[in-house]
């Protein structure tokens, strides 16, 4: 099946040390690349940010990470399951399809194909 473009954002627990939070972020990257078979196109670590409200765990801040990746739709559900298993360290996450980026990529490929010039070489006349 054709790969789709997805956006992911997740928040890591502020109770973890900086080293442990870095490890959690790397773990999610490896899930996307190795377990889901995705290709990360963009990745940003936003760091510690204040939350809009106190969570039921009592957190008022969290370590945010955001990314864009390509993967097959069947495998993306596995990513949600991995987040659920790891919910003690990553307490909020969201993964959704970015159809707008898919359309932009398709249009870019279409324009590139249209812009390719076909060069027809004329035979060289050696009889003169």
Q: What is the chain's mean pLDDT, rounded?
A: 90
- Is position 8 within any domain? yes
Provide, rounded to the nearest whole percent, the portion of the chain with pLDDT above 90. Answer: 69
Owning domain of residue 28? 4-106
How many domains are contained in the chain?
Answer: 1
What is the SS3 assignment for 42-98? EEEEEEEEECCCCCCCCCCEEEEEEEEEEECHHHHHHHHHHHHHCCCCEEEEEEEEC
- Is position 119 within any domain? no
**pLDDT of 95 higher than 80:** yes
- Is position 116 within any domain? no
**What is the CATH number for 43?**
3.30.70.60
pLDDT at 34: 95
Q: Give the tens place of pLDDT for each residue, 34-93.
A: 999 999 999 999 999 999 999 998 999 999 999 999 999 999 999 999 999 988 899 999
């Amino acid at each position: 099946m054709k790969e789709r473009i997805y956006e992911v954002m997740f928040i890591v627990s502020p109770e973890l040390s900086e080293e442990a939070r870095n490890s959690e972020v790397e773990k999610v990257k490896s899930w996307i690349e190795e377990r889901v078979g995705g290709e990360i196109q963009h990745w940003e670590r936003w760091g510690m940010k204040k939350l809009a409200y106190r969570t039921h765990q009592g957190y008022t801040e969290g370590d945010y990470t955001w990314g864009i990746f390509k993967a097959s739709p069947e495998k993306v559900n596995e990513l949600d399951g991995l987040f659920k298993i790891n919910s003690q360290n990553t307490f909020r996450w969201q993964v959704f399809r970015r159809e707008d980026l898919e359309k932009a990529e398709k249009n870019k490929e279409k324009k590139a194909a249209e812009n390719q010039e076909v060069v027809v070489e004329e035979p060289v006349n050696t009889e003169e």
